[in-house]
Amino acid sequence: MRILSGIQPSGRLHLGNYFGMMLPAIQLQQGGECLYFIADYHAQTTVHNAKELREYVNGIAVDFLAAGLDPERSIFFRQSDVPEVTELSWILSTVTPMGLLERCHSYKDKLARGIAASHGLFCYPVLMAADILIYNSNLVPVGRDQKQHLEVTCDIAEKFNNMYGNIFTIPEPLIQADSAHIPGTDGQKMSKSYNNGIYLSEDEKSFRKKIMSLKTDSTPVELPKSTQDSLILQLYKLVATPEEYAAMENSFLSGGRGYGDYKKTLADALWNHFAPYRKRRHEILSSPDYIDNVLQDGAKRARAIARETMRQVRKATGLGDLPPC
C-alpha cells in the first residue's frame, strides 16, 4: 500500500493544518509506504516572492518533523526536487480534456477570493495528477475541497491507460471527515487566507491572545451557554480526553462560568498538548543541516520511483529513453 500526500508552502502552518492533514499523515506511517511532499511548485500559483517561498518550505519541513513525521518510515521531500513530475504533467495535459478542467470548482473559488488567473492555477489539477500518478499511489488522503481534483486524477489516469496501456495505478481517496473543518478564531474554517489561524510556531503570548479572542456570544456568566457551534468546545475536543470534554460541555449547560474561564482552560490544554512539538522543534532548529539532509535523502528515494514510472511512460508514448540525472 503506497500512500501519498502533499502540503503547500504558502504560509505558516496552523492548527487546522495539523489536525486536518499532518496528524492523520503521521498516523498513516504505520499503515504502508508513505510519501509526503512539500508542494512548492503548486505554491508558485500564489507565492511570488522567492525569499518567502524558501522560508515557507523550510518552516513546513521543521513543523512536520517536529510534529512526528519519521523520515526513516516515510519519504519526505520537496516536490521540485523531483523534476520528472513536471514532464509527466505535460504528457498528461495532452490527454486531459479542457471540459474536465473547466468543471473544477477550485479554480473558480480561488478567482473569487482574488487570486490572479493564470495557466498554472487553471491546470493545477493536472500537476496534482502527475504528483499522484508518478508514484503509482494507492491511497491519497485529501480534504473535501480536494476530492474533485482526485476524481480528475482518476479520469486522467483512466484515459491515459486506455490510450497507452495500463501504466498508472488508479488511486483511492481517504477523506478525513472528522478533521474536515477546524474552526479559526472567527468561526470560519481555519485558513491562512482568512487571517484567522492559530499557528504552531506562535510564541506563548500570541498563542494565548488568539485563544482569548475566539468569537463567542454575549451570554452572561451565570446563565447556561449553548454548546451548538461553540468554537471553544470544537477546539477543546481536539485535545481533551472524553471525560474532560464531557465536563466542559456539562459546565456550559449548567451556567456559572464565563467564556473567559473556558478560554483559559482551552489555552492551557492546547499549549500543553504541543509541548513535545516545541521541544522537538527547538532540537531541529539547533541542527541546521538536518532539514537539508532529510529532504535530499527523501528526494533521492522519491526520484528513483518517479524515474521508473517515467521510463514506462516514455516507452508507451513513443518518446526517447529517459536522460540520465
Residues noted as catalytic = 110, 189, 192
Closest-CA residue to 186 (of 221, 165, 215):
215
Q: Which three cell numbers stand for residue 157?
A: 489516469
Q: Which three cell numbers stand for residue 47?
A: 507565492
| Backbone CA torsion sign across 119, 139, 192, 189 | positive
| Matching residue, cell 504552531 | 200
> Would you call 288 helix, strand, or coil by DSSP?
helix
Beta-bridge mates of residue 14: 199
Within its chain, how far is the Cα of 168 from the centroid? 24
Rounded Cα distance, 60 and 51, in Å? 14
Within 240-274, residue ranges assigned H as helices are 242-254, 259-273
